């Protein structure tokens, strides 16, 4: 039985191994009736946990609690449906009252099996991690060299992290958020230690550098702010440094955990289509790279595909090449190949034709920023896929963790900032030639180019949003039904 409590006490929160669910009075009220109805079943689960880990109650304190709220009832259903083994309960009070109360966590361990993890040549990797021998070194998979070379890059300064994000050594909403979290940890390591004021000023300045690298993806901005808030609230400089480390780890672990839950929720959509097709292959079209390379592990839009494939469901992915950087052709195809998932790379403008001829059952894409009203910004070209899907009656879903919602933006088309990148990315293309990665000019030498990195798909074209809490309509009402605690904090 894993020592989850030890990880929690030390703030080394590995949410792949443990989920911590915190409930307060405001979060509880919408679920009070259902929670009371399930009281007996939940009590039995909690009694078991107490028997196993009684000694943890004395050593844990609520200040280290992480993760999201309003999930005790859904966690019970998750445990029941997926036969997960609970192992830990801390500070739980029964009967359910209006007092701020419950914390529960459990291993994500399946009876008689194990969860899928992303592998490269059979070995599990995350996209970002700390060097096991030197905790001051952050390591990443340098995606510029994929699919031709597998290169691990060391990052030791904030400038190196900034460059890695801006120049797309790493990319994807969740991953650059995690990188920003680790970037702030590196900032804490190198900031002056003789004055708390100067220490915090240094971190704030470094945070602004990180936020300026990729303006569209909100995960980056939220990760920086989360670090600033947590570090500012900590005690002396030593505690602030430990907080920077634990918060960076928590951001990364939550991203992996949320992505796996997205996979579980999206799996049901694919399973439903498979049943309608009497077990014939489900053809999924995706755009850009919303797989594990874009996040810490699992991915968003591709996570349900991995779980479907792992569950024995016949699934095939149409992979848009995704000009101008070809993240689909280079990255999505590579990771699908590594996991053994059937796929076909297609030119960007092929999707509409496939849909017209009944060759696409489902479109799932990721997103770099989604408004609480359901508008979704994603890699340029996503909007055109949504239009084609709408015209041909093909379900179009956006998969995202809650960290990608923007609760301060209502109109995505008018308000989401759209990054414009260097025109050279359009004018040139890179590929493997005689064993070397080379760039080739595509356009006339004097022709200018425009390089808008993202577009916004309006909510009316989106069938639903697949999140870690479930699937909802792409609407204000649908989103807030899953995230009721955001009603008071959203911008009206």
pLDDT in tens, the chain (492 residues): 233 333 333 333 333 333 333 333 443 444 455 545 555 554 554 454 444 333 332 222 222 222 332 234 334 444 444 333 333 333 333 223 222 222 333 233 232 334 456 888 888 899 999 998 999 999 999 999 999 999 999 999 999 999 999 999 999 989 999 999 999 999 999 999 999 999 999 999 999 999 999 988 788 999 999 999 999 999 899 999 999 999 999 999 999 999 999 999 999 999 999 999 999 999 999 999 999 999 999 999 999 999 999 999 999 999 999 999 999 999 999 999 999 999 999 999 999 999 999 999 999 999 999 999 999 999 999 999 999 999 999 999 999 999 999 999 999 999 999 999 999 999 999 999 998 999 999 999 999 999 999 999 999 999 999 999 999 999 999 999 999 999 887 777
pLDDT the model gives residue 269:
96
Instruction: Specify the CATH number for the domain of residue 218.
Output: 1.20.120.420
Query: Which tokens go with 356?
Result: 């017209």
Query: Which residues, other chains included, contact 471 with Cβ-Cβ below 8 Å and sequence gap of 6+?
Result: 265, 266, 268, 269, 397, 464, 465
- Within 277-314, where are the H helices? 303-310
The β-bridge partners of 377 are 369, 456
pLDDT the model gives residue 211:
94
Same-domain pairing of 297 and 228: no
Same-domain pairing of 375 and 271: yes
Same-domain pairing of 290 and 435: yes
Domain boundary among 214, 237, 255: 255
Q: Is residue 346 one of the residues assigned to a domain?
A: yes
Same-domain pairing of 271 and 217: no
Instruction: Specify the CATH number for the domain of residue 431.
Output: 3.40.50.10470
Q: Is residue 492 one of the residues assigned to a domain?
A: no
Inter-residue contact 363 to 395 (CB < 8 Å): yes
Place of tokens 């990188």: 179
From 216, 211, 170, select the one nearest 187 (Cα to Cα).
Answer: 211
- Could you list the residue range(s) of the whole structural domain that residue 469 is in? 258-486
Same-domain pairing of 436 and 339: yes
pLDDT the model gives residue 442:
96
Same-domain pairing of 97 and 149: no
Residue of 257, 320, 361, 368 marked catalytic: 368
Domain boundary among 91, 110, 129: 110
Domain boundary among 59, 77, 110: 110
pLDDT the model gives residue 121:
87
> What whole-number distance in Å separates Cα of residue 22 and Cα of residue 6?
18
State yes or no: is 368 an active-site residue.
yes
Same-domain pairing of 318 and 460: yes
pLDDT the model gives residue 118:
80
Q: How many domains does the chain have?
A: 3
pLDDT the model gives residue 7:
31
> What whole-number distance in Å separates Cα of residue 147 and Cα of residue 29?
50
Same-domain pairing of 132 and 223: yes
CB atoms within 10 A of CB 433: 10
pLDDT the model gives residue 240:
94
Same-domain pairing of 190 and 329: no
Task: Give the global pTM.
Answer: 0.76
Alpha-carbon dihedral sign for residues 180, 184, 190, 192: positive
pLDDT the model gives residue 217:
79
């Amino acid at each position: 039985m894993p020592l989850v409590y030890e990880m929690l006490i030390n703030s080394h929160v590995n949410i792949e191994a443990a989920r911590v669910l915190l409930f307060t009075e405001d979060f509880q009220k919408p679920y009070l009736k259902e929670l009371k109805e399930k009281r007996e079943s939940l009590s039995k689960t909690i009694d078991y946990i107490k028997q196993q880990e009684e000694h943890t109650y004395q050593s844990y304190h609520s200040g280290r609690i992480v993760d999201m709220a309003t999930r005790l009832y859904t966690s019970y259903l998750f445990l029941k449906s997926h036969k997960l083994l609970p192992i830990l309960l801390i500070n739980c009070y029964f009967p359910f009252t209006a007092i701020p109360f419950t914390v529960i966590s459990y291993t994500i361990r399946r009876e008689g099996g194990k969860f899928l993890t992303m592998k490269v040549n059979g070995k599990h990797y995350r996209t970002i991690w700390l060097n096991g021998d030197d905790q001051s070194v952050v390591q990443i998979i340098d995606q510029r060299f994929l699919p031709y070379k597998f290169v691990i890059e060391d990052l030791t300064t904030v400038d190196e992290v900034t460059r890695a994000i801006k120049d797309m050594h790493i990319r994807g909403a969740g991953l650059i958020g995690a990188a920003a979290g680790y970037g702030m940890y590196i900032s804490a390591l190198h900031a002056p230690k003789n004055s708390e004021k100067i220490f915090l000023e240094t971190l704030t300045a470094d945070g602004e550098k990180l936020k300026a690298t990729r303006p569209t993806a909100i995960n980056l901005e939220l990760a920086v702010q989360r670090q600033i808030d947590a570090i500012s609230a900590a005690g002396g400089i030593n505690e602030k440094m430990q907080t920077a480390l634990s918060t960076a780890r928590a951001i990364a672990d939550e991203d992996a955990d949320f992505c796996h839950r997205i996979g579980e929720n999206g799996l049901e959509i694919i399973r439903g289509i498979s049943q309608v097709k009497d077990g014939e292959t489900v053809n999924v079209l995706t755009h850009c790279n919303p797989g594990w390379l874009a996040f810490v592990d699992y991915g968003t839009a591709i996570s349900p595909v991995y779980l479907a494939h792992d569950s024995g469901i016949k699934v095939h992915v149409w992979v848009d090449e995704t000009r101008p950087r070809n993240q689909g052709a280079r990255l999505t195809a590579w990771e699908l190949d590594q996991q053994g998932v059937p796929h076909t790379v297609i030119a960007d403008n092929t999707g509409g034709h496939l849909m017209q001829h009944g060759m696409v059952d489902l479109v799932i894409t990721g997103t770099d920023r989604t408004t609480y009203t359901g508008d979704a910004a994603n890699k340029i070209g996503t909007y055109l896929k949504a239009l084609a899907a709408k015209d041909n009656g093909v379900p179009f879903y956006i998969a995202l963790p809650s960290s990608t919602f923007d609760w301060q933006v209502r109109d995505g088309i008018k308000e989401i900032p759209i990054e414009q990148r260097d025109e050279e990315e359009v004018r040139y293309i890179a590929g493997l030639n005689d064993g070397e990665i080379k760039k080739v000019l595509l356009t006339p030498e004097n022709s200018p180019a425009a390089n808008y990195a993202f577009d916004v798909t309006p909510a009316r074209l989106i069938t639903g949003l697949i999140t870690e809490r479930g699937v909802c309509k792409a609407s204000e009402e649908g989103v807030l039904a899953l995230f009721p605690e955001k009603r008071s904090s959203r911008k009206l």
